[in-house]
Structure 1
Amino acid sequence: MKLQALSALILGALSVESALIAESRLSDVLLQMDTGFSRKEEPIKKISVSYESEPLRKLDQKQRELVDSAWNGISKSYRYNTIKEKLSKYSKHETFRGDSNSVESKFKEQAAFLPGQKLNPSKGKEDKEGEFEVLNNHKFDDYSLRIKKSSPEVLGLDSVNQYTGYLDVNSLGKHFFFWFFESRNDPENDPVILWLNGGPGCSSSTGLLFELGPSGINSTLQPVYNPYSWNSNASVIFLDQPVDVGYSYTEQDAVTNTDDAAVDFYTFLELFFQKFPEYRKNKFHIAGESYAGHYIPRFASEIINRADRSFELTSVLIGNGYTDPKTQDQYIRPMVCGEGGYEQVISDEECKSLERSSKNCERLGGICYNVPTAATCVAADLYCSRLLDPVSKRNINVYDIRRNCTTDLCYDEMEYLSDYLNSDFVKKSVGASESVEFKDCNDRVGLNFFFSGDSRKPFTSYVSELLDNDIPVLIYAGDKDIICNWLGNHAWVLDLEYEHSYDFKRTTLAPWTVDGKEAGQVKNYGGFTFLRIYDAGHMVPFDQPENSLAMVNRWINGDYGLNK
């Protein structure tokens, strides 16, 4: 979630010179413009890319023109006042300084939130003494795990045993928050699931209190019991990552890409299973949605390639994931133009325009895939994010084509959970740092990933690696989502090459039933499954709680065809 709101911020941020030059990550992108800023809503003059360095010099002239066009097509449509309003929320300075001597100095003054910059510390250091048990491991001497057992009756979310705490990266001042709920059924023997939300930059507490956790939060900030919680038959961990998301916080640089995040993720699991060695024998699954389509394949690869790991990975589950951007973005037009099982929601003229734009998006995506630099991948993201413009201008919810979007995140419940988690009572109960302001989604983190080029890169090769190592993979998608829709997810799984891809492609979509009623369509061969879930948007457990629990229970019980 949050991809669309982040796109709007990015489009604005990239129209000013201070937000464009992200030091080494965008060193090939140069800005040519008149000196200083004017108070007259003047756009910047030109953005150009230097193609003198490797690997950018590999691009031919047509490819270079397309990349330059993507940068400049965005910049010319955004004006000074719009940019000032958007950047003032994230910059240390409330006004632009038009008299600076260089682009570099302007960047350092005004864009402290971009990659490579020291964060302006607004979150105090956690007191590690007292109520937390602290664990260390000689293999990870820079890491420690703080953990405390919470009293279930205090918050009333569930009656099961609960634990909260932080993974601390001591030398770097990074602190990752987690919340663990034991199974309602048989925690000694039930599987363990770790849940990740996407963004990038959104808290997994969204999954906890909005989708699949033991309780939701209502408008009076009271917990509402969820009978379809995923901890009905599994113990569930909710991890706020990357750092600076949710209750997690950092005193130095934030993580800017999925590769770096994978190392912290793996270390957390090693220390977690050190604390709870009894769970090492249980089956362990990683699940998530949206940008977790990036996270989960890479994180799972990190696990299986660690020869000295102390636990085993059983499977992964990815819901409405963003895994193959070049392929998936080609299916935004079909989804909004009536070819995805729902009526057309934009005009015929806009559908024709989207068809042309989608071809350019695919070309830019191919350039990013073949020459994966920040200059090429950010250009692709800038251009392709505009495919959603016809939908957004109508206030259609990009996470659910059936709904309108009236707030930043389109769901009132997101505001309820933020208010709840920002209350002093809740912070004290879970041991969160008092000075941390909980944010369901942190745009600064999202921008970091965006400017590193991470968000446009494919992660399908890691899915192939998992399957070829006999790790089952479930790709499920609510069929009313627009932004990471079922058509695009179905397309990339059909294109995926792995040992049994021929056999998988030969299977057909078959009816998927829950309690005797058709609830979707399923395609399966061996340990690889694609599931379309009817009448669900981007957040399947929110829209179809009963059916999502049926899916999970079948999967974690080894029914990879989801038929029993």
Structure 2
Amino acid sequence: MRLSFSALALAAASIHAAAAAEENKTAGEVSKGAKVRTFDTSVLGVDKVKQFSGYIDNEEEDKHTFFWFFESRGDPAKDPVTLWVEGGPACSSMLGLLQQVGPARINEKLQPEFNPFSWINRTSMIFLDQPANTGFSHTSKHVNTSIDAAKDVLTAMTTFLKQFPEYAKQDFYVSGTSYSGHFVPAIAAEILSKPESDINLKGAIIGNGLTDPKVQFPAFRPMGCGEGGIPAVFNESACAALEAAEPVCKELLQECSEKEESETCLNAFGQCFAKPLSLKPGLNVYDLRKPCLGNSSNFCTDNVEPIVEWLNLAEVQKALGVEVVEKWETCNSTTGADVQRTGDGAKSLQKQVVQLLEKKIPVLVFAGDGDYICNWLGNRDWTNALEWSGREAFNKAETKALSVASDGKEKEYGNIKSADGLSFVRIFDAGHFAIRDQSEGTLDLVDRFMKGELKGN
């Protein structure tokens, strides 16, 4: 859901021994050292559908990945299964669950409020805390790249679907936002490379993502200087400074792309990402249309703190079966820093996207047009620049309006360009949290994508 390099400034997550809740079900091993432990979460009142949380254990690697699963509100025997992974890197997927796409959102009274536009209207969903040590997940091992994280996710999903074969035959989608623009292509490509996993991969969904920094980072100047549909937020001198830095950034990012060395890519990330975000203190980089409420550690919103408080209630953690992690934090700054030190944030995942498209796996990319940190201009540009067999058709495709019937009227929520399985959507009047800002529209978009209606226009 978010790109949170502010998380790197947070204190390291405190990991201590804690008593776990009594398990409702302990699954037998589905392979050597691999099992799934589940807990019935219906007592929490998040939704009435079949649901359970738990841990996917990989004992050989000492990795215990936390998840929360919800069946579809429709027909779970036929509807797809969608994996949701948060961005960050190392932010918990409980944020996406309880703030955007999940069946309920936590209000100021620390109560779940029904979300009529949850994606579980259309698909069963598994929200996974990854990489290792994110959210309620715990391990003694460390993961510090998107590619390595993807391998762990595939292991976890293979274990889960073997334990619950009733969900294994359905279509499977990988989704996420923000830094998941790295995670989603990496995970989907990893699934594709391991056909023995028997996962029925049907598509990838990236919202306001960071996927190809070499193409996306140069979009900071036009987006912040009034060329992205939002009035300029920087003065002339700041815009001139951004323009002057473009040749240097282009060179640094090209060097990172060619060498993929940690030091080179970390330097490119600092010069071309961190600096543009720090030009104007107090700027809401998640939504240029709005003031920053609080600071970047809560993503400039007032709806994160209730989630933090609720997930740290003893009765909630008991119902979820939480173990080891005493305090839930939005993002694990230690793991996030480990990932960034490898220069992962400046590395491109376009190769993985191409692998998906060439294997006829559809990819949906959308972006709220008020976001700055992963803005729509950059997402438009990288999809246009993608080097694949459908490039010419995609770039020639007509941009069309998207609307949804709402209260008896057609409500336009964005526009789309689509060809040969790749779709790019600009979501109107939305920021980094486009799913929350345009809940009805983005649900309609995902529904169309899963029905195969966006393959080309």
Q: Which residue of 1 aligns with 2:169?
A: 281
RMSD: 1.9
Q: What amino acid is the match of 2:377?
A: L
1:193 Cα deviation after fit: 1.0
1:169 Cα deviation after fit: 2.3
Choose 427-436 or 294-303, whichever is displaced more: 427-436
Q: Which residue of 2 aligns with 1:389?
A: 278
Q: Which residue of 2 aligns with 1:59?
A: none
1:281 Cα deviation after fit: 2.2
- For the pair 1:521 / 2:415, whether they are aligned, the reply is yes
- For the pair 1:543 / 2:437, whether they are aligned, the reply is yes
**Could you tell me which of 399, 410, 433 is aligned with 2:286?**
399
1:125 Cα deviation after fit: 6.9
1:127-149, Cα deviation, whole Å (9 max, x unpaired): 697433224233xx233221233
Q: Which residue of 1 aligns with 2:38?
A: 147
Q: What amino acid is the match of 2:283?
A: I
**Could you tell me which of 249, 252, 256 is aligned with 1:361?**
249
1:173 Cα deviation after fit: 2.6
1:288-313, Cα deviation, whole Å (9 max, x unpaired): 00111111111111111113122210
TM-score, normalized by length of structure 2?
Answer: 0.94
- Matched ranges for 1:75-224 at <5 A: 89-90=11-12, 122-124=15-17, 130-138=23-31, 141-150=32-41, 152=42, 154-224=43-113
1:280 Cα deviation after fit: 2.1
Counterpart CA distance in 2 for 1:460 and 1:261 is 17
- Matched ranges for 1:419-458 at <5 A: 419-433=309-323, 435-458=325-348
Q: When the two structures are aligned, how many residues end up with a matched partner?
A: 448
Counterpart CA distance in 2 for 1:128 and 1:429 is 7
Q: What amino acid is the match of 1:309?
A: S
- Matched ranges for 1:203-282 at <5 A: 203-250=92-139, 252-282=140-170
1:160 Cα deviation after fit: 0.5
Structure 1: stretches of 5+ with no match in the other structure: 10-85, 91-112, 114-120
Counterpart CA distance in 1 for 2:141 and 2:158 is 23
Q: What amino acid is the match of 1:318?
A: I
Question: Greater Rg, structure 1 or structure 2?
Answer: 1
1:238-267, Cα deviation, whole Å (9 max, x unpaired): 0010111111122x2321111221121111
Counterpart CA distance in 1 for 2:352 and 2:19 is 36
Structure 2: stretches of 5+ with no match in the other structure: none
TM-score, normalized by length of structure 1?
Answer: 0.76
Counterpart CA distance in 1 for 2:426 and 2:287 is 14
Judging changes above 3 Å, is the alpha-carbon distance between structure 1 residues 493 and 435 closer, same or farther for their aligned structure 2 residues?
A: closer
Q: Secondary structure at the match of 2:304?
A: helix
- Matched ranges for 1:457-496 at <5 A: 457-496=347-386
Counterpart CA distance in 1 for 2:323 and 2:5 is 30
Q: Secondary structure at the match of 1:208?
A: helix
1:231 Cα deviation after fit: 0.4
1:435 Cα deviation after fit: 4.3
Judging changes above 3 Å, is the alpha-carbon distance between structure 1 residues 128 and 221 closer, same or farther for their aligned structure 2 residues?
A: closer
Counterpart CA distance in 1 for 2:262 and 2:132 is 21
Which structure is higher in RCO with an 8 Å CA cutoff and minimum separation 6?
A: 2
Judging changes above 3 Å, is the alpha-carbon distance between structure 1 residues 204 and 336 closer, same or farther for their aligned structure 2 residues?
A: same
- For the pair 1:414 / 2:304, whether they are aligned, the reply is yes
The answer as to whether partners of 2:21 and 2:318 remain within 8 angstroms in 1 is no
Percent identity for Structure 1 against Structure 2: 39
Counterpart CA distance in 2 for 1:225 and 1:562 is 34
1:477 Cα deviation after fit: 0.7
